[in-house]
């Protein structure tokens, strides 16, 4: 409760027997609803020796151990999936940009994903023709810069790709499932 002079008085709660308790029922709030509480005080203490030693060792001697999300498969299999995912994502962004026909990915794409890619390619083609005049193509083509793979299981991989289109960056997320001898893209999202 606030008095008329702007000072804050402690909250008083009834005890149930007709008298009031003098202990506050809730802490006083000094924040505004909707704000994020951040501790912006700088940490002036130096890092502890064991943590610093671990960091220096990690930088000085990188290890080639497989990441913890890697199931029973080996590192070579993961690299093969990353290489495949890189090639597939490159083809997919070229299709979405109108530089490649969608039929090139028919064999490695689930029907729902193929339909979405075909729709994107059709929209780009329609946008290129306005009033019977074909717009000139730009010389900038999308390029997959990096691919990160998480093997969910031996036959399922989830992929995130960084795509550059001139000065702009975009992200592509995909899910691949092994069907027989090849990988099939079952989900594809552009961001």
The predicted-structure confidence for 85-129, as pLDDT tens digits, reads as follows: 999 999 999 998 888 999 999 999 999 999 999 999 999 888 876
Whole-Å CA distances, 69 to 65, 66, 151, 159, 175: 12, 8, 6, 13, 15
**What is the third-level CATH fold of 75-130+139-190?**
Nuclear Transport Factor 2; Chain: A, (3.10.450)
**What's the CA gap between 53 and 181, in Å, rounded?**
46
CA atoms within 13 A on the CB side of 127: 10
Cβ-Cβ contacts under 8 Å for 159 (sequence gap 6 or more): 82, 85, 89, 147, 148, 149, 150, 172, 173, 174, 175, 176
Asked whether 172 and 163 are in contact (CB, 8 A), the reply is yes
Looking at residue 2, its pLDDT comes to: 47
Running DSSP on this structure, what letter comes out for residue 176? E
Looking at residue 141, its pLDDT comes to: 85
Which portions of the chain are predicted below pLDDT 70?
A: 1-43, 45-74, 129-139
**What's the CA gap between 87 and 183, in Å, rounded?**
12
């Amino acid at each position: 409760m606030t008095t008329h002079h702007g000072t804050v008085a402690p909250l008083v709660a009834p005890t149930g027997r007709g008298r009031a308790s003098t202990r506050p029922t809730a802490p006083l709030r000094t924040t505004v609803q909707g704000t994020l509480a951040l501790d912006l005080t700088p940490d002036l203490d130096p890092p502890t020796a064991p943590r610093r030693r671990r960091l220096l060792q990690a930088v000085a001697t990188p290890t080639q151990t497989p990441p913890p999300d890697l199931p029973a498969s080996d590192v070579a299999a993961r690299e093969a999936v990353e290489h495949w995912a890189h090639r597939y994502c490159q083809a997919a962004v070229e299709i979405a940009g109108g530089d490649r026909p969608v039929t090139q990915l028919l064999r490695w794409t689930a029907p729902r994903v193929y339909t979405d890619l075909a729709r994107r390619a059709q929209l780009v083609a329609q946008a290129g023709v306005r009033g019977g005049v074909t717009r000139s193509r730009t010389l900038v083509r999308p390029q997959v810069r990096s691919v990160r793979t998480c093997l969910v299981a031996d036959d399922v991989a989830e992929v995130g790709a960084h795509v550059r289109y001139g000065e702009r960056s975009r992200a592509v997320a995909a899910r691949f499932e092994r069907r027989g001898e090849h990988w099939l893209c079952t989900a594809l999202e552009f961001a």
